[in-house]
């Protein structure tokens, strides 16, 4: 590529494409080899005479149809200029990279062959390209709805129903670890630093990257053990209580209150790394040590534990750093079972009281 601003922008765009493919485990050498297929990968970002060096660490999207390229660019700029997102730049970059950009790139790829315009029919086609009742379909619906609002495109009345249906899939919630298994599987981790990270996630239900973006001073002896997830995390600052509380001692987490450097040495400077990269290190270590669950399974198990204990859903959702809607949809199975059990217990209690009064 030429040693110019246009060449540099093109190189950066292709580098981001490689990074996205690696993170999504879709990278194939043959797509990039001169002896491989002539056609470029569908996800490749086009850099042409309109490309400018990105002002944000996340490059703007450009696709083959110029009209759609301009519309996606306008949407991206509006996304990052939203005052709410500007208060949490690292979280906004993470959200854009993982929850918006993949779906907008698929939209661009579907629109490119026939230079289609951005309309309701195209948005529906993109949504329908994802499987029913999958997280990808649900997240695609959220991203495309935001795009439609920005460009004032009317979506079908049943858009939410088309996107919905995602929770913890039945096959997955049957695999959630029991408390006994969580305590057993920590023994698979020989590295003491990663054992602490495992224990922190199990006790507090943290996201992968939040392990490295939390104030742990309250874990020190005499502290209240309520940790604070920092504003630089994906969903901003929130406080989390331990469930089970005795696991603070079981996993020796008090040591982190005195010396947070006992956690694994992971790059956390968001000027040089991303939240996804920090979180990916956790998943890689779980796999390396043969831990038979994903890090997010510890988070889900924490949430289910709070449901069984009876913690209000609004409180649990706030501790997890997501909305009550997301909480209810994700943990619908357990919440429904809890609410039904409470109703049954109340009905049986009333019946017992009536029977006692008859014989009094």
Mapped to the 3 state alphabet, what secondary structure does the chain carry? CCCCHHHHHHHHHHHHHHHHHHHCCCCCHHHCCCCCCCCCCCCCCCCCCCCCCCCCCCCCCCCCCHHHHHHHHHHHHHHHHCHHHHCCHHHHHHHHHHHHHHHHHHHHHHHCCCCCCCCHHHHHHHHHCCCCCCHHHHHHHHHHHHHHHHCCCCCCCCHHHHHCCCCCCHHHHCCCCCHHHHHHHHHHCCCHHHHHHHHHHHHHCCCCHHHHCEECHHHCCCCCCCEEECCCCCCCCEEECCCCCCHHHHCCCHHHHHCHHHCCCCCCCCCCCCHHHHHHHHHHHHHHCCCCCCHHHHHHHHHHHHHHHCCCHHHHHHHHCCCHHHHHHHCHHHHHHHHHHHHHHHHHHHHHHHHHHHCC
Can you tell me the distance from the alpha carbon of 5 to that of 11, in angstroms, rounded to the nearest whole number?
A: 10
- Which residue, of 144, 170, 196, is where some domain finishes? 170
Whether residue 337 lies inside any domain: the answer is no
Q: Tell me the two tokens of residue 205.
A: 């239900």
* Domain identity same for 288 and 161: no
Whether residue 347 lies inside any domain: the answer is no
**Containing structural domain, residue 72:** 5-170
* Domain identity same for 181 and 106: no
Whether residue 259 lies inside any domain: the answer is yes
Whether residue 108 lies inside any domain: the answer is yes
Q: How far is CA 67 from CA 63, 73, 246, in A?
A: 9, 10, 58
* Domain identity same for 162 and 246: no
* Domain identity same for 252 and 317: yes
- Which residue, of 154, 170, 186, is where some domain finishes? 170
Can you tell me the distance from the alpha carbon of 92 to that of 90, in angstroms, rounded to the nearest whole number?
A: 5
**pLDDT tens sequence for the chain (360 residues):** 777 776 777 787 778 778 777 766 677 787 776 544 444 443 333 333 333 333 443 444 444 456 788 899 999 999 988 887 777 777 788 889 888 999 999 998 888 888 888 999 999 999 988 876 677 888 899 999 999 999 999 998 878 878 865 555 544 555 789 999 999 999 999 999 999 999 999 999 999 999 999 999 999 999 999 999 998 887 888 999 999 999 999 999 999 999 999 999 999 888 888 888 888 899 999 999 999 988 989 999 999 999 989 899 999 999 999 888 888 878 888 888 888 988 898 888 888 777 666 666
* Domain identity same for 236 and 291: yes
- Which CATH number goes with the domain that contains 267? 1.10.443
* Domain identity same for 117 and 206: no
Whether residue 336 lies inside any domain: the answer is no
* Domain identity same for 245 and 324: yes
Whether residue 352 lies inside any domain: the answer is no
Provide CB contacts within 8 A for 117, sequence distance 6+.
65, 67, 68, 111
> From edge to edge, which strands make up the β-sheet containing 214-215?
214-215, 227-229, 238-240
* Domain identity same for 161 and 225: no
- Which residue, of 170, 204, 233, is where some domain finishes? 170
* Domain identity same for 162 and 244: no
Instruction: Please give the model's pTM, rounded to 2 decimal places.
Output: 0.60
- Distance, C-alpha 121 to centroid of its chain: 28
* Domain identity same for 133 and 9: yes
Work out the number of other CB atoms within 10 angstroms of the CB of residue 256: 24
Can you tell me the distance from the alpha carbon of 214 to that of 206, in angstroms, rounded to the nearest whole number?
A: 9
Whether residue 360 lies inside any domain: the answer is no
Whether residue 68 lies inside any domain: the answer is yes
* Domain identity same for 181 and 160: no
Q: How far is CA 177 from CA 142, 262, 335, 336, in A?
A: 30, 26, 18, 20
Give the residue among 266, 136, 248 at the shortest CA–CA distance from 210: 266
Count the domains in the chain. 2
Work out the number of other CB atoms within 10 angstroms of the CB of residue 316: 25
* Domain identity same for 250 and 265: yes
CA atoms within 13 A on the CB side of 96: 25
């Amino acid at each position: 590529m030429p040693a110019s601003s246009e060449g540099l922008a093109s190189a950066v765009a292709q580098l981001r494409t490689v990074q996205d493919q690696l993170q999504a485990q879709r990278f194939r050498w043959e797509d990039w080899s001169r002896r491989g297929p002539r056609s470029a990968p569908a996800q490749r970002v086009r850099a042409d005479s309109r490309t400018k060096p990105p002002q944000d660490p996340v490059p703007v999207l450009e696709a083959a149809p110029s009209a759609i390229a301009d519309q996606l660019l306008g949407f991206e700029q509006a996304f990052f200029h939203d005052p709410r997102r500007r208060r949490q730049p690292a979280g906004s970059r993470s959200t854009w990279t993982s929850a918006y950009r993949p779906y907008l790139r698929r939209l661009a790829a579907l629109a490119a062959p026939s230079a289609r315009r951005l309309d309701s029919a195209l948005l529906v086609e993109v949504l329908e390209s994802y499987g029913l009742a999958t997280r990808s379909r649900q997240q695609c619906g959220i991203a495309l709805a935001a795009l439609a609002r920005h460009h004032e495109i009317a979506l079908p009345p049943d858009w939410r129903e088309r996107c919905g249906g995602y929770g913890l899939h039945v096959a997955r919630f049957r695999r959630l670890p029991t408390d006994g298994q969580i305590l057993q599987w920590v023994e698979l981790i020989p590295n003491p630093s990663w054992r602490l990270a495992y224990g922190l996630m199990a006790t507090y239900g943290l996201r992968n990257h939040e392990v490295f973006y939390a104030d742990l001073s309250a874990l020190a002896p005499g502290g209240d053990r309520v940790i604070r997830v920092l504003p630089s995390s994906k969903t901003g600052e929130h406080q989390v209580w331990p469930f089970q509380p005795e696991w603070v001692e079981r996993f020796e987490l008090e040591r982190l209150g005195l010396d947070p450097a006992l956690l694994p040495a992971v790059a956390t400077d968001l000027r040089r790394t991303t939240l996804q990269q920090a979180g990916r290190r956790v998943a890689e270590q779980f796999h390396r040590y043969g831990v038979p669950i994903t890090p997010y399974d510890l988070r889900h198990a924490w949430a289910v534990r709070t449901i069984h204990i009876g913690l209000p859903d609004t409180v649990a959702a706030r501790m997890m750093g997501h909305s009550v809607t997301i909480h209810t949809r994700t943990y619908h199975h357990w919440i429904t079972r809890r609410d039904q059990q409470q109703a049954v217990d109340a009905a049986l209690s009333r019946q017992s009281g009536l029977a006692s009064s008859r014989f009094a």
